[in-house]
Every structure is written in structure tokens, then in C-alpha cells.
Chains A and B, each alone.
Chain A
Amino acid sequence: MTDEAEQNSESRPISVPANDRRAHPRQRIRSLAYVHLGESNGGIVLNISESGLALQAAEALDAGESPLAMRIEIPRSRKPLEVSGEIVWVGESRKEAGLRFVDLKEGALKRIRAWMAREESPGTAHEESEEEVEQPVARDVEVRAESIATEEALAGREHHAAETEELAAQNDEEPVEFDEESADGPAEALEEEPLEVTEDAAVAMEASSGVAEEPSAAAPVTRKEEDRARMIAPPVLTFEKQPHAANLPQTLISGTHGAPALAVAAAQATSARYSTGDAASSLFPRARVSAAPAAADDGWKSFRVQLRSGWFLAALVLLLATISFIAGMAVRRGALNRVMGDVDDAAQPKSAPASGNLPGNLPASPNGNGPGAAASTAPAKPLQIEIVDLENRRWTIPAATGSNHDDASTTRQTQANGAMSSDGSAPAASASKLPSQDSAQGAAAAAKPGAPLMLSLPETPISASGSVAIRATGIVPMPAGETQPGQRARNLQIGELINLVEPVYPPDARQARLEGTVKLHIVVGTNGEVESFHPVSGPDSLAHAAMIAVREWRYRPTLLNGKAVQTQEDVTFVFRLPN
């Protein structure tokens, strides 16, 4: 195996091929590790194993310098590693060489193993490097990446592939192709080991234009080319997706030419981060350029939205509380009773009235048929009228005669006997004469057996003056025994009015130009005097005047079969003012 081939094989990633005959596997150093070779020379470590390392020196090396004291600045380690080694091979340029450790101490061996482990697990390195983020790195990386992109653009992709194949043929190595499956795979696979993909300028420019593109699988990359690119422009940018950013556009763009996409990709995916994946990371201190400005901006926006939502909710709650308070106070003050009353009417059933709080001995809800009667649960009872005199004596009489036939018929019988003065227990002397003009009205009233016959006489004008006209209709109650069918009343003598007093037009009514008709119902006793009267209709002032006049009226007794009987009259007064 030639040195170049050995070098190429040594630059293989951590996986050790099955045909590797070395005693210890070699670990390619992804980060930039300086090695000081004496006072005047130095270089970078290319790969390392527990037995030795390969380096690229700044000055030509001489095999006779062995043993050579080396001071290696291990990345992410403050204390340099002091070892000594002897040169095993030297490249054609005499700047590349392989050294085998000499008298390697146990402590140094442990540090080398730890270093190799860190190089093998980039995630650990990334975590360690998070503390060392510095913004200027991004600018430097971008500038360097632009130069690489320009160079690659000039070379062209086809030339690129041809050269790769040529190099592969020389190295008897199969070209390492881009692992498309890994690039397209889920985010979990991408997180395990960041893939490094060399991209051409076009891809880089596309990425820089804001479109997150996956690397083209048509650009095979060989280790030779990778090494060459690494030597020319070490910064290998690895865009990784965070585990929690699986829903974001995949921005796994790793390669030497992906730098231009850095700024845009970082701005788009706030969780994306990149790290230098090669030796150049030491020059550009292991930057994890977080998209701090964009992330902070978005975070601030989100925070502002949340803050705004919180305040909005608080304001809404406060507003509702205020409205509730106002409505409550309005209800308390009765301002909404009009509305609430209607609601309550439909919602709240009425309770039955308590009979205990009724005044006097009036029946509880005797016959409610109004708006509130439907809600009354008291059984309907016949309406009764309570009579109270000045001595506060009380009587109760039924309001209707139909519901109390015994009492009503007694009343009618008594009335027919002419006892209008008091309680009907002292009937007056009955007249022997019946009216010659037997009216049909009286016969109609006598249709019910035993009912009194109310004989109504024709309406007769009594007087007519300038302002009052008087006419009257006489009513003679006929005893039931006198009104047998087929019997004619022959001995009825109607008493005439012998003392007429006309009513005086009330001054206030005259002044108010009040006119009207007053109807009075009067009862004339057996002696011809007006026993009682009450107004039926008409204005009060006019009725009062009419009643004052009626009190002075005198009649001749009405005789029925020779007996004076009590009679009734409906008197009509028409009050008219002269024009």
C-alpha cells in the first residue's frame, strides 16, 4: 500500500474496514488539531490511533529527526498533549508523515482514546462546542465558502465526477457516494451522524436563495476529492436538524460549499444549527451559529402574541365582570323588572292565595276569571256580596239568584207580596183589583210557576220643562196567586203622581255644560211615598239632583183588588241645557 493509499485509507471515517490490517483503528480527525513539532515546525493532525498519527506539517520533515517531540492541542481541551514519536513514513512533499508513538504513557493514551471517542461521536463534540459560539465565525465561513463555491463552479460537476473516478481508480478505492437514503431519511437517522455532502455551487446558491434543497445524489464524492477539498477549504458546514424540528424543512446541507446557505437557512429554521465538521473548525471556532436574531425575533413575536392574548383575556374577563355587575345592579334597582317580570310570569307558577289573609269573611278568590284567575287553584265558589252597615254588622248574600233557588224564590215571593220595606216578613195588604190591561210582559214574567209577575206599564211622560224632561215606567208586582192562567186582572188602580218636584239643574253641571240622561229606580210604598230610590245610570251630579227631587214626590196609592200595593217606577230624567 502506498503512502497515498494509506493516507486515503486513514482518512476513512470511523468505521474500520474488514481488511484493515492495522493493530489499532485509526480515527480521522474531523476537527482541527494543531501539533507543534519542536520550535520551528508544526502542522495539523490528519488521523490518529492509539499507536500513532498522521499529520500535515508546515515545513518539510526529515526522517532523521526521530524521536520527535510533539505537543498536540486537542480540540476542546485546554491542556495540550505531550507525546513523542518516531517518523514511520514521509510523503512525497515531505510534509505529510506518519508517526508512531514512543513511550506513550497511560494518561496520554487515555486522552487519545477520549479524543478519538469524541471525534467518533460528533454529537458530543457539538454539545461541547455550544459554549463557544461566536458570531464572527459565520461571516468568515461565508467568505471562505463563497470562494470555494466559485472555484467549484468553474470546475463544473462533470469534471468533478471524472476527477473523482480517476482518483478512485488510482487509489483502488470505490468512490464514496452520497448516501441519498440517509439524506432523505427521517430526522432521527440524520441526528445520529451528520452526513457530509459536498455540494456544487449551484446547490449552494440555491440554498443561499432561501430554498432548502437536499443535496444532489448525482454528485458522487470520493475521499480523494474530499480530502482535497478539506485541504483547500477546510470548513465543512453541517446543517443538522434538531430532534424537535422534525416538522421544519429539512436543511441537512453538509459540505464545503454549503456555507452560502448558512445565513438564509439559519434565518429560516430557527432551530437549525451548523457546525464546522473539519479541521477548519478550529480556525473558525467550532461555531454553532444559532439563528439568534431570527429566533429571538420570532420568540419575541410569539411572546408578544401570548402577552396580547393574555391581556385580551384579562380585559374580556374584566369587561364581562363589569357587565355582570351592572346588570346585577340594574336588576336590583328594578330597572329590568319589565323584562324580568315577563320572564317570571312564564317561569314562576302562581301560588294559591292564602285564605287566612283575606279581609273580613270574603271568600278566597270567589270567582276569578280575569288574567290571574287561571292560575288560581282555589275552587270556584259562587260570588257573594257582603253587606256591612254603620254598626259594622255583616251579612252575606249570594250575588246571583240562580245558584240559590230557595233563597231567591223566597225573595221573589216576598217581593210579590209587596213587602219591600224590610225583610218580607210583613206582607202588605193585597189589592183585590187586577189591571184591566193585562200585558204580555207580565205574562212572560209569569212563565215560571210560582214566580212573581212584574207588570210593566207603558212609559208615560211626566213633565217637560226648559232643561229637564221626565218620563216614567210603572212596574206593579203581582202576587202569584193572582196570575193564574186565564184569569184577568180587573181590580188594579194605578196611583197617579200628585206631587211632582222637578230637579234643579246643578249649577256646576250647568257651568260645565254637562248634559245627560239619568235613570232612577224608585219604590213607592203603599202610602204613596217614595220609599227608596237608586240611580241606574247617568252622571253623578245630575243623578244627585234627580234623587233630591224624587224624594219629594208623592203618589196616590196603587190598589190591587182594593188593596194598596207597593209599586216601582223607572224614571228617566233628560237634562238639556238651552242653547
Chain B
Amino acid sequence: MKNLLIFVMFAGVLAIVILFGLPRFPRQENAVQRPQPSPWNSGAIQSTFAGAQVQEADGTHATLMFFFDLDNNTDADYRFAKGAATVVMTRLKSNGSLSSEEPIELNNSVFLPARNRTRIAVQVTRPFNWPTGLPAGQIGPVNQVKFRQLVADEVGNLSGFVMFDTATHFQIELPGGWQELQPSASAAGLN
């Protein structure tokens, strides 16, 4: 009986060591050579489209920003660093394929507390002759068309964005809420 107790205690300690100790050790070389891709977790964090913004970068460029609210459904905090670790791609409306043709990036590094909602922004810069002499009150209709057209041309053929955090292997779908936008002036027979 004493041996049984000792065995059980030993098994418990061994399990704890395996669970907490081994992950801290560096992987073996063969494991590095043949990394096993882990599936992307797309359910832990969900997002909602929050809006679009056009910022003047300079006289000839504008930055389009798309805001999303991220809901962290887990009990862990996460950080999404702006840079190579976080890849933002577009999802085409036509067939749902991912595309990296557009150089879209995360606006800033994001801290996502557990069980919280955080707003993030992805952005893309486009050549755009910023209208001069915009009135302080209400923007004119022509310029509204220009800005609207700018946004529509950017996202008209997209169903949304997808953000991949290569560090945590989280996949966050950033759905588009711009269905009201007309894709471009060509839709009106201009093209």
C-alpha cells in the first residue's frame, strides 16, 4: 500500500513536470526541421466592423483606416504587435480567397485583455489628391463622392480582412461592413 501511494505521488509529480517543465525546454533539432503546423484558432477572438476613416497622409496620399471591435472570449490576455508577426490579408468577395496584394497593416500594436472588447484599426495608404479648401462645416457633395469613391475602390471587391497572428496562431476574421458602398464609379457606367 505504501508502494501504491508512492507510485501515485510519483505519477502526479511526473505529470506536473511533463506538463510544465518540458515546454520550457528548447525543441530538439528534428522537431525544428519538421515543424508541425498547428491549426489556426479562429474562435477565440471575434470581431465586428466599426467604421471607416480617410486620413490625409500628404497632399497626394490618403490613408484608409478600417476599425473593428475585437472580442476576446478567452481568459487570457493577448498582444498583437504591429509588424511582421501580424499579417493582414484581404478576403475577396468573389470567391473568398485570401489576397496579400494590398499592403494592409495593423495600425498599432494591440493589447487585448481577457474577456474584453478592444477596437483596432487596419490601414492602407493610397495615392489621393487631397481636396484643397475643404470648408470647416460640411464637406461638399463632390468631395463626398471623391472620398466615397476612394473607399469604395479599396474595399468594393472585398468581403473583409483577415488578421493572422503568427505568434499565437490566432486567425481573426475582420468582416466588412461596407456593403452600402458602391464599388466604384464604373458601376454607374463610367468604366
Contacts and interface: CB of A to CB of B under 8 A. Distances in A.
13 contacts: A308-B1, A311-B1, A337-B76, A342-B43, A357-B117, A368-B48, A370-B49, A370-B174, A385-B148, A423-B142, A425-B140, A537-B153, A570-B191
B113 interface: no
B174 to A, nearest CB: 7
Contacts of A421: 131, 142
Contacts of A312: 4
A491 interface: no
A282 interface: no
Interface string A271-283: 0000000000000
B122 interface: no
A413 B54 CA distance: 24
B97 interface: no
A314 interface: yes
Interface in B173-190: 173-182, 184-186, 188-190
A356 to B, nearest CB: 12
B19 interface: yes
A353 B71 CA distance: 10
Contacts of A408: 141
Nearest to A452: B188
Contacts of A517: none
Contacts of B131: 421-422, 532
A521 B138 CA distance: 25
A329 B135 CA distance: 59
Interface in B1-33: 1, 4-5, 8-9, 11-12, 15-16, 19-20
Nearest to A376: B48
A401 B180 CA distance: 9
B180 A359 contact: no
A362 B67 contact: yes
Given A366-B49, A423-B139, 4 more contacts: A318-B5, A363-B50, A383-B52, A387-B53
Interface residues of A, number: 100
Contacts of B174: 370
Interface string B112-129: 000001010000001111
A151 to B, nearest CB: 54
Given A308-B1, A348-B73, A353 B53 contact: no
User: What 10 A-B pairs come out closest when comparing CB atoms?
Assistant: A370-B175, A423-B140, A411-B141, A400-B180, A334-B76, A362-B51, A532-B129, A341-B44, A322-B12, A367-B177
A387 B139 contact: yes
* Most chain A CB neighbours (cut-off 10 Å) among B47, B141, B148, B151: B141
* Chain A interface mostly: mixed
B140 A337 contact: no
B18 to A, nearest CB: 9
Contacts of B186: 536, 570
A364 to B, nearest CB: 7
B99 interface: no
Contacts of B153: 521, 534-537
B56 A344 contact: no
B117 A389 contact: no
B190 A364 contact: no
Given A393-B136, A445-B188, A329 B53 contact: no
Contacts of A383: 51-52, 177-178, 180-181
Interface string B46-82: 1111111111101000000001010101111000000
B95 interface: no
Contacts of A535: 126-127, 153
Given A422-B143, A533-B129, A389 B134 contact: yes
Contacts of B19: 326, 329-330
A390 B143 CA distance: 16
Given A322-B15, A414-B142, A534 B150 contact: yes
A376 B139 CA distance: 31
Interface of A: 307-308, 311-312, 314-315, 318-319, 322, 325-326, 329-332, 334, 337-338, 340-342, 344-345, 348, 350-351, 353-354, 357-360, 362-373, 376, 382-390, 393, 395, 397-403, 407-408, 410-415, 419-425, 441, 444-445, 454, 456, 473, 475, 521, 531-537, 539-540, 543-544, 547, 568, 570
Contacts of A531: 129
Contacts of B53: 360, 362, 385-388
Given A422-B140, A540-B103, A338 B129 contact: no
Contact of B141 (A319, A366, A424, A454): A424
Interface in B121-172: 126-136, 138-151, 153, 160
Contacts of B127: 533-535, 543-544, 547
Contacts of B138: 395
Given A326-B15, A445-B188, A534-B128, A400 B182 contact: yes
Contacts of B148: 385, 397, 399-401
A188 to B, nearest CB: 41
B41 interface: yes
A539 B12 CA distance: 59
A517 B140 CA distance: 32
Contacts of B55: 388-389
Nearest to A530: B129
B141 A415 contact: yes
A341 B71 CA distance: 11
B146 A532 contact: yes
A307 B2 CA distance: 11
